[in-house]
C-alpha cells in the first residue's frame, strides 16, 4: 500500500450528489450531506473539492464553493453557509489524472446552455479525449481547462441533431455523449430540479444510489421504508459513506444506465448497450486497492473480496513460515485471509505512525535513509527469530518495500517472504488511473527476474490474474456469473477490466 501512497498510483476522483425529497425549500441540510459524503470519498482524491447546490427553481439559482486540499480545509463553516439554500446539489473530490492541479480544474463545472445552466461532476478518463477535443473545437467552442470533465460538459451543451429548439431532451444529449465516447465515466449532471446519474456502458467506474432515511429508522431493523420515510436520495462513487449520512444502500447504477433522481424518487430513463458481445469492464483495481473496504460493488463487500484474494494467494503460493503479517493498513484483509487459509497466526509486525504526512520533506541523506523508520516502528516481540510472511496489496516499483524488509530483518526476523495479493502491474491505464510509465513499473524491468534478491526478501510471489478474477467473481451475486467462472470462461474478462495486468483493453484505443 505504501507503494501507492508515495508513488502516485491514484484513483482520480469521487462524485457525490443529493436531492431532498418532499416539500421544497427543504429542511434537509443538503450541503452538509454532500460535504460528509465527500469526506467519506476522500481516499479517492485529496487535491481539491467542490460543491454546487441549486434551489431547483426554473431558472435555478446556483450556489458554488471550491477549495484546494482536503474536504475539511476546502469547506470551512462559512463556505457551507454560502451553500445552505440548496434543495439538491452535486460535489466532487479530485485527484488529477488529466489536467493540472489548479482551482480552475476543480469540479463540479457549471455552464450556460440554450436551456439554462447545467452542472457536471465526473469520475474517469475519456479514452478518445484527443479526438473529442478537436470535434468540440470544430464547433467553435473554446476549452478553458485541460480536464475531460469540461469536454463532457461541452459535448452535453451541443444540441443533438433531432432536438426541437425549445425543449431540451437531456436523455438524447446524454445518449449522444455515450455514443461519442464508450468509456470511462461515472457522471452527475444537475439541471433545474433533477440530477442525472450516468455510468458508461462498460461500467468501468463505480456509482451507486442510497436512500436517506430519518435517524429514528436507522436504528430499527432493515426492511423497506415507505416513501414518506424517505428524506432524500444520494448518489455516490462508493457506498462507504452512507452510514455516516444516515443513508441506506439502495442499488448500483447499472453499466450504461441513465438514472433521473428527483424529489419524487429514482427513475431509469434509459440503458445504453455495449457493442455486441463486449463484456462489462468494471475496474478490478477498485477491489484490489482503491475502494474503501466497507464499500459494496456488485453485491459484495470489498473487504470480503480482499480476504478471498488472500486465501487464494495462500493456495497458490504457500510459504514455510511461522507468522503472517502485513504493512498496515490496506492489505490487512488479504493478510487475514492468507493466515486463515494457511493455518498460521496473524500478528502485527509494524506499528504505524499516523502523524507522518506523505509530503514530509527530507532535508538530508540521513533523514532520507530513515524514511521508513519515521513511518513505522517494529513490534519486535511478535516476530524476532521467526519466519514472517508479509502480505502486501501491490508492489509497483519495489523501492518502498525494501527498506521495510530491512527494518524487519534488523529487528530479528529470520526470513521475510513477500506475498502480493494482486498480479504485477505491467501496462498503463487509459481509463482514469494514474499508473507510472511502463519503464518505471518493476514488472517490466530486468530486476523483476530476481525480484526477491532485488528487494532483499527470502521469496516473492504475486497472485495470478486467474486467481484474482476467481476471488473477485466468487462472490458476484448472479448464478450465471458463477457458472461462467466455474466453466473456465473467466478468461473473457467476465465483467472486469484487467488491462493494467494483461494489456487487454475493453475498447480499441483511438489516439
Active site residues per annotation: 13
Cell of 147: 480536464
DSSP-derived secondary structure letter, 424: P
**Beta carbons of 129 and 47 less than 8 angstroms apart:** no
d(CA 485, CA 219): 38
Map grid coordinates 491505464 to a residue.
429
Max Cα distance, the chain (Å): 78
Residue 36 to residue 249: CA distance in whole angstroms = 16
Preceding amide of 454 cis, omega within 30:
no
Residues 22 and 265: their CA atoms lie apart, in Å, by 10
Helix (H) or strand (E) holding 265: strand 265-271
Query: Of 146, 61, 27, which Cα lies nearest the Cα of 98?
Result: 146
Element holding 309 (H helix, E strand): helix 302-316
- CA torsion sign, 98 to 102 to 107 to 112? negative
92 phi/psi in degrees, rounded to 5: -150, 135
Instruction: Say if CB 178 and CB 256 are below 8 A apart.
Output: yes
In the annotated binding site for [4Fe-4S] cluster, the residues are 283, 429, 497, 500
Sheet holding 323-326, edge to edge: 323-326, 387-392, 415-420, 459-462
Helices and strands: H and E segment counts in the chain? 18, 25
Strand partners, 187: 122, 198
Cα distances from 353 to residues 63, 307, 376, 388, 403, in angstroms, run: 39, 25, 6, 21, 16
Q: Tell me if residue 366 falls in helix, strand or coil.
A: helix
Strand, coil or helix: 138 = helix
- Could you give the C-alpha distances from 109 to 50, 233, 476, in angstroms and in order? 9, 21, 35
* Cβ 44 vs Cβ 11: under 8 Å: yes
User: Residue 312 in contact with residue 465, Cβ under 8 Å?
Assistant: no
- Show the beta-strand stretches assigned E in 327-409: 350-352, 376-378, 387-392
Quick check: 247 and 211 in contact, CB under 8 A? Answer: yes
Amino acid at each position: 500500500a505504501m507503494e501507492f501512497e508515495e508513488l502516485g498510483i491514484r484513483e482520480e476522483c469521487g462524485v457525490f450528489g443529493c436531492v431532498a425529497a418532499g416539500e421544497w425549500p427543504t429542511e434537509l441540510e443538503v450541503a452538509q450531506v454532500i460535504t460528509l459524503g465527500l469526506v467519506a470519498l476522500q481516499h479517492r482524491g485529496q487535491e481539491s473539492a467542490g460543491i454546487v447546490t441549486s434551489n431547483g427553481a426554473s431558472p435555478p439559482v446556483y450556489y458554488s464553493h471550491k477549495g484546494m486540499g482536503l474536504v475539511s480545509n476546502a469547506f470551512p463553516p462559512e463556505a457551507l453557509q454560502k451553500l445552505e439554500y440548496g434543495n439538491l446539489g452535486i460535489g466532487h473530490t479530485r485527484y488529477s489524472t488529466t489536467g493540472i492541479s489548479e482551482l480552475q480544474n476543480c469540479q463540479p463545472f457549471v455552464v450556460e446552455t440554450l436551456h439554462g445552466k447545467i452542472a457536471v461532476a465526473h469520475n474517469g478518463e475519456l479514452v478518445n479525449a484527443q479526438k473529442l477535443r478537436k470535434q468540440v473545437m470544430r464547433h467553435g467552442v473554446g476549452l478553458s481547462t485541460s480536464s475531460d470533465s469540461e469536454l463532457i460538459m461541452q459535448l452535453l451543451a451541443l444540441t443533438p441533431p433531432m432536438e426541437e429548439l425549445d425543449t431540451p431532451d437531456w436523455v438524447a444529449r446524454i445518449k449522444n455523449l455515450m455514443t461519442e465516447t464508450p468509456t470511462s465515466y461515472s457522471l452527475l449532471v444537475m439541471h433545474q430540479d433533477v440530477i442525472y446519474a450516468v455510468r458508461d456502458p462498460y461500467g468501468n467506474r463505480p456509482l451507486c444510489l442510497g436512500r436517506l432515511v430519518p435517524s429514528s429508522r436507522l436504528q430499527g431493523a432493515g426492511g423497506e421504508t415507505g416513501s414518506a420515510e424517505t428524506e432524500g436520495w444520494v448518489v455516490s462513487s462508493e457506498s462507504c459513506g452512507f452510514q455516516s449520512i444516515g443513508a441506506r444502500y439502495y442499488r448500483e447504477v447499472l453499466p450504461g444506465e441513465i438514472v433521473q433522481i428527483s424529489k419524487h424518487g429514482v427513475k431509469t430513463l434509459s440503458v445504453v448497450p455495449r457493442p455486441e458481445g463486449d463484456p462489462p469492464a468494471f475496474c478490478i483495481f477498485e477491489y484490489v486497492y482503491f475502494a474503501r473496504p466497507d464499500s459494496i460493488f456488485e453485491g459484495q463487500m470489498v473487504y470480503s473480496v480482499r480476504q478471498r484474494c488472500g486465501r487464494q494467494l495462500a493456495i497458490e503460493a504457500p510459504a514455510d513460515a511461522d507468522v503472517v503479517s502485513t504493512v498496515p493498513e490496506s492489505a490487512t484483509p488479504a493478510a487475514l485471509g492468507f493466515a486463515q487459509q494457511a493455518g498460521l497466526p496473524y500478528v502485527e509486525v509494524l506499528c504505524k505512525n499516523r502523524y507522518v504526512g506523505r509530503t514530509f520533506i527530507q532535508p538530508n541523506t540521513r533523514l532520507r535513509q530513515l524514511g521508513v523508520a519515521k513511518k513505522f516502528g517494529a513490534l519486535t516481540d511478535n516476530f524476532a527469530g521467526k519466519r514472517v510472511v508479509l502480505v502486501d496489496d501491490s508492489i509497483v516499483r519495489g523501492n518502498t518495500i525494501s527498506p521495510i524488509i530491512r527494518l524487519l530483518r534488523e529487528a530479528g526476523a529470520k526470513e521475510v517472504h513477500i506475498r502480493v495479493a494482486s498480479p504485477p502491474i505491467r501496462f498503463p491505464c487509459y481509463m482514469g488511473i494514474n499508473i507510472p510509465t511502463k519503464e518505471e513499473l518493476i514488472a517490466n524491468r530486468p530486476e523483476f527476474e530476481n525480484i526477491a534478491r532485488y528487494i532483499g526478501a527470502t521469496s516473492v510471489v504475486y497472485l495470478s490474474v486467474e486467481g484474482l478474477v476467481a476471488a473477485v467473481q466468487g462472490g458476484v451475486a448472479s448464478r450465471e456469473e458463477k457458472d461462467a467462472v466455474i466453466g473456465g470462461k473467466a478468461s473473457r474478462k467476465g465483467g472486469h477490466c484487467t488491462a493494467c495486468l494483461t494489456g487487454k483493453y475493453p475498447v480499441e484505443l483511438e489516439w
